[in-house]
Structure 1
Amino acid sequence: MAQAVDALKANDGQRAAAFLRPVAEKGDPSAQALLGQIYLDGIGIDQDLFEAGRWLRSAAANGEPSAAFALAELTSDKTLTPPGMDPTNTDARVQEATRLYLLSATNGSLAGQVEIGLRYAQGIGVAQDIIQASRWFREAADSNSPVAQFNLGALHAAGALNGGTPDPVAALPWFEKAAASGHPDAQYNLGLTAAQGLGREVDNAVAAKWFAAAAGHGMADAQAGLAYLTYQGLGTDKDVARAAELYAQAAEQGHLIAQNRLARLYVMGRGVDADMAEAWKWHSLALRSGYEDAELDARFTKFITPQQRSDGDARASKWLESKASQ
């Protein structure tokens, strides 16, 4: 194994495979898993999905969790089809992937535990079972998986573990653990619970802290939330220009409320130079997605010129084209 690893560091897959094969043939699951990965990734060797599948299946059968997880992923995305399975049988593929995720989870894979938890929560390849979902999330959460911690918090927040009644108090410690590890959704949820007083007293300073953390990951909801607090001076210094920047960041990602607020700022010239064409651009984009604002409509009816409307439409079309190309 050590010689194989050294060979891989030199990108010599042929030599690594030569070291691994006799060990793998004797049933060593670690050697089997690594050999399968070499053939799968084509590490210094021609990719060979047949050999990859063969060795990963052997490793999974021998209890190697990463091999079972890799096989589950490859089965799910149709890269590999298990022997004897009709490749067009979608239900069979989903069930086999779920079986492999469960196998990897049972053998200690954190990623497998998270994925099988999601599958139980959503009823993918198994009967929906929230208790089983929470069990697997809890196991991974106790091993410091931020994703599992967030998911467990989300189950509590949605009331899935409390007869349908949201339980923000039970959700908070799991969101806090995930947020401390940098999970942006958990950070945003902590900001939301603090801003709305869910399971705790309203604390806009805490809300601003966590919205800022999530906004740093580029999350549009957090950018919009922080923009609101910054515009109002709630829990943070009032800074209209900074609020406009944050609304613009969220608006660029298609956040409808941010697009609406940014349009208002351009109409009023608050935090940005007044620009009716730019205001119409963001207002029209929000309108296209169903976000209406009668007060803003009235302002445009009174104050926008035909040229400004035309310019705004052109800018909106250019924005839509750029998003479509992405």
Structure 2
Amino acid sequence: MDRALKMVYYDEADVEHDIFAQLNLALKNFRGIGMPRDESATRRILDQIHRQSRAFAAVCYGFMRSKGIGVSRDSGEGQQWYREAAYWFREEAQSGQGTSASNLGYLYAKGLGVPENADMAAEWFREAADRGSPVATYNLGVCYLNGWGVQQDDRKAVKLLQSACDHNDIAAASVLAYLYLEGRGVKRDPGKSFEYNLRAARAGSVEAASALGYAFGVGLGAERNIEASISWFELAAGEGDAYAQANLAMYFCHSSELKLFNRGWQMLSLACDQGDVSAKYQMTQILIFGVKHREPDYGKALDLAMDLAELGHPGGYHLIGVMYEHGLGVPVDMKRAAGWYERAARKGSANGQSALGRLYAIGNGVEQDNVQAYYWLKMATPAHSTHAHREFDAVRARMTIDEIRRADQLFISDPAPRRAHVGLRTVE
């Protein structure tokens, strides 16, 4: 899973601000993407960035020109402004400013105003990290995590990200939460993942707030708490996070109150019109299973699920499998259902992994196989008190010691199907 690099400045209180996160929020306000159109909010964000320095003013102009915010869109002129930003960041970096060296590395990583060059980006990040820049340490950790300009190395990534986190870098805490959930470079630990997300969210990370909404919604690393889930999703949704908006809309759509349902359905519809895959996934679930104020529509559901599948979205694969398993708008076909579940499972869908494990456990659509059932159900069970976890316990109870040994070895040796959180698991 690719993690984002960042370009930052620090305000008078030494609080970090991610420039491109702010610029993208300004763009969402300007175009009304995931929130009401608000040009005054756009201006406030852009003015704040513009005041920081000549380099950041140039970045601001480059983004405005490249995206057409308040001016005609012109990618060529946008690149000219980014070139000016690179000049000033280089000047500041050569005078010993570590954050500026890291920001110059960001421009090389993205090819903004300078040729895209991952090796050069990593060199600038390393130089800045050696000067003690937490953001550069974070960016270098991300490079090791993704193999950008350096040889991919999860353990080096964890070491660098932990160092950045120890210096209060909130993005590093958010990425460490992901690594502990996935078991990359560290022992898998949903509880520790939750703790890092909570730390990052309290410090202002929108991504971490959205992740907490999911964690509370399914009981991942903490007790299941729907009120807390809604609260964290609302916080992230207010900052334009599409994943949070889609899941928040899902809660509203399941409400018995027509007013809340209408609000949720409108949120989903607007997000779908903008091509947001999380919203499409949630809407597909509603169209398959129905809710109090909306009857199922299998034809539309299958169209949306197929659209998601064409985009490689694991939730689309899973939901098509559900339709074939239960004969919802299509004939019952367990082999097809198993095939779609496997595609979802290998893409990281916990729902797909759970469903495939269940089919292996009972031998429906696939040949009965306790080892495969154990493997897929264990892959799908980071949270206790779920159907998948109970099914895992049931399968394990009837296995021989040799079968358990082989299943555990398979789980260790084949880490490919990482979980992909495609939305709250409303159907087990």
TM range (shorter): 0.5 to 0.7
> Secondary structure, in 3 states, of the residue corresponding to 1:297?
coil
C-alpha distance in 2 between matches for 1:201 and 1:51? 47
Shift of residue 175, structure 1, vs aligned partner: 0.5
Shift of residue 260, structure 1, vs aligned partner: 1.6
The question of 1:143 aligning with 2:167 is answered yes
Gaps of 5+ in 2: 1-51, 62-79, 310-315, 331-428
Q: How does 1:112-261 map to 2 (within 5 A)?
A: 112-163=136-187, 166-233=188-255, 239-254=260-275, 255=277, 256-261=280-285
> Secondary structure, in 3 states, of the residue corresponding to 1:228?
helix
Q: Spell out, residue by residue over 1:226-282, the C-alpha distance to the aligned partner (whole angstroms, 9 max, x if none).
A: 233334459x999433332343244334333233246469x88926xx898xx9667
> Secondary structure, in 3 states, of the residue corresponding to 1:201?
coil
Where does residue 284 of structure 1 map in the other structure?
303
C-alpha distance in 1 between matches for 2:53 and 2:246? 48
The question of 1:73 aligning with 2:101 is answered no
The question of 1:100 aligning with 2:124 is answered yes
C-alpha distance in 2 between matches for 1:213 and 1:50? 36
Decide which moves more: 236-245 or 249-258.
Answer: 236-245
> Secondary structure, in 3 states, of the residue corresponding to 2:240?
coil
* Greater relative contact order structure (CA < 8 Å, 6+ sep): 2
> Secondary structure, in 3 states, of the residue corresponding to 1:160?
coil
Rate the CA distance shift 1:264–1:218 in 2: closer, same or farther, 3 A.
Answer: farther
Partner of residue 329 from structure 2, selected from 297, 300, 306: 297
Where does residue 97 of structure 2 map in the other structure?
64
Shift of residue 40, structure 1, vs aligned partner: 7.2
Q: Spell out, residue by residue over 1:162-183, the C-alpha distance to the aligned partner (whole angstroms, 9 max, x if none).
A: 34xx311111121012212332
- Could you say which structure has the higher helix fraction? 1
TM-score normalised by L of structure 1? 0.60
Q: Spell out, residue by residue over 1:107-141, the C-alpha distance to the aligned partner (whole angstroms, 9 max, x if none).
A: 23333222111001112111222232223222332
Cα RMSD of the aligned pairs, angstroms, is 4.2
| Count of residue pairs brought into register by the alignment | 245
> Secondary structure, in 3 states, of the residue corresponding to 1:289?
helix
Q: Spell out, residue by residue over 1:275-297, the C-alpha distance to the aligned partner (whole angstroms, 9 max, x if none).
A: 98xx9667634433334446663
> Percent of counterpart pairs with the same letter?
25
Q: 2:201·2:208 contact (CA, 8 Å) conserved in 1?
A: yes
Q: 2:86·2:114 contact (CA, 8 Å) conserved in 1?
A: no
Rate the CA distance shift 1:262–1:128 in 2: closer, same or farther, 3 A.
Answer: same
Q: Spell out, residue by residue over 1:175-200, the C-alpha distance to the aligned partner (whole angstroms, 9 max, x if none).
A: 01221233222112111111211222
TM-score normalised by L of structure 2? 0.47
Gaps of 5+ in 1: 1-33, 82-89, 299-326
Q: 2:261·2:293 contact (CA, 8 Å) conserved in 1?
A: yes
Q: 1:113·1:136 contact (CA, 8 Å) conserved in 2?
A: yes
